[in-house]
Amino acid sequence: MADRVTDPALEALGYKPQFRRVLSRGDLVLYGLVILTPTAAYPVFGIVQQVSHGHAALSYLVALVAMLFTASSYGKMAGAFPAAGSTYTYAQRSLSEHIGFLAGWSMILDYVLIPLLSVVYISLTAARLLPLVPYFVWAAVFSIGITLVNVRGIRVTALVSKALLYIMATSTVLFVFLAARSVLLGQGAKALVQPRAVFDPQQFSLPGLMLGAGIATLSYIGFDAVSTLAEDTRNPKRDIPFAMLVVCILQAVFCFLTVYLAAIAWPAGRPFQDVETAILDVSQYVGGTFLFGFITFVLLVAGLASSLTAQAGASRLLFGMGRDGVLPQSVFGYIDPKHATPTRSIYLMGFIAFAGSLLSGFQLIVELLNFGAFVGFILVNLSVIRHYFFRLRRRRGMDFLTNLVFPMLGALVCTYVWVSLSHNAKLVGFAWLGVGVVYLAVLTGGFKRSPVSLQIE
């Protein structure tokens, strides 16, 4: 346990080290890719291609720009405050304790919904593959299995995640290869380079592109979970900013190649059987029954991997808030001495995933997912400006760009996407925020005192 005795960077923030620092830079990149999944473009390809009027590839590039600004902000804040609370900690330390609470409250919605969405998706998929086994049985099996892996510790989670990532990466490489092969055999080598598949001036529509980019951001949502592992990482100030940027760029490469080759491989003018499962139509066209079946299996694996890593990130966000006393410390601030994991938060997340999978519809969860994420993204970008530009007065040379211009652009783009969400998502999302405001008012005696009550042992 020597690696948990002292931790100057963490103790400078007023916290006692409680996690084992075992994760390397490579572990963080793998963790981020697993929670995003290299196959993230599969479920939304048809929808993005449709709403963007054939500009799915360009939509992913536009979404990448917004995510890079925000990833840069997360990296800077992880360097300033290397604690497990992530978005909550950054906003609390940079903006105000009350705003920090609401940032964490918003991200709870996001972090709860990612594993819940994954459990729902993989349970539905498994039930369709083996209809004799009821849906609720699959939901229980997956919820319990994911929870038990996370309870064993972040190292076990990282090892399982690595195995799942290899399967997903293999699927992406295979799809790209077979789609490219189909184009070569059917249209020739020159057909592999089609600028109009990225930008077609005759079909281009800026509102359509931005709508497509808004949907494409779903494939990047969750990269911020890397920052929740700040207290599990050997060198968080160096490795977390690097890992977050690398994860976003690699994810963009996976998604861009997938949607670009899917677009040029599919016969022009031929409609998809179902726009929501368009990638399966393309898979069967370029790779036959084998690729169709393999992609279906990989979608199951991707949901399992995303749920596993999202639950780990969620438990650490809750731990950060529980340690500060803004959530009940006996539940959320507890660390299991054997496994060095926030087991009570993990068990609660497992129960919510199972119960929610029985009560919630898939579509509503999808609509809600972006709400909490973009509230957090906006506040983290603003935190960079407040902490570095105003408080530390780092304004010269490149600092002017990285501490003001870039985070401001990130905040503006995220705000645009946020206000463009569906009516149902905003209705439920603001209701959740309203509950948070009421809880905060009770916790602070009508906002008269700090919500934070640090208890350093």
> Which tens digit of pLDDT belongs to each residue from 115-135?
787 788 778 777 767 888 888
Which stretch of 151-155, 165-169, 429-433 has the lowest confidence by average pLDDT? 151-155
DSSP character string of 258-273: HHHHHHHHSPTTPPPS
Burial of 79 (0-12, 13-18, 19+ CB in 10 A): middle
CB 226, CB 28: distance < 8 Å: yes
The residue type at 109: L
pLDDT on residue 454:
42
> Mean pLDDT score of the chain, rounded to an integer?
82
CA 1, CA 11: separation in Å to the nearest integer? 17
Percent pLDDT > 70 in the chain is 90
pLDDT at 455 over 50: no
CA 398 to chain centre: 28
Predicted confidence at residue 363, as pLDDT, reads 58
On the question of pLDDT at 453 being above 60, the answer is: no
Decide if pLDDT at 210 tops 70: yes
pLDDT tens for each residue of 36-45: 888 888 878 8
Q: What is the mean pLDDT of residues 152-156?
A: 70
Tokens describing residue 15:
């916290």
Least confident of 15-24, 98-107, 134-143, 242-251: 15-24
Whether the per-residue pLDDT at 299 is higher than 90: the answer is no
Which residues partner with 23 through β-bridges?
233
Nearest to 244 by CA among 304, 313, 305, 153: 313
Calculate mean pLDDT across residues 382-398.
Answer: 93
Name the residue type at position 258: T
| Residue boundaries of the structural domains of the chain | 16-443
Backbone angles phi, psi at 300, to 5 degrees: -65, -45
pLDDT at 18: 64
Higher pLDDT, 319 or 69: 69
In which residue are the tokens 């940079």 written?
94
Q: Is the pLDDT of residue 161 over 80?
A: no
Please tell me the class of the 16-443 domain.
mainly alpha
Q: Which residue has the higher pLDDT, 84 or 370?
A: 370
Confidence of residue 1 (pLDDT cuts 50, 70, 90): very low
Q: Which one-letter DSSP state was computed for residue 396?
A: S
- Tokens at 159, concatenated: 């090892």
| Confidence class for position 439, pLDDT limits 50, 70, 90 | confident
Q: What is the pLDDT of residues 246-270, one digit of tens each?
A: 999 999 999 999 999 999 998 877 8
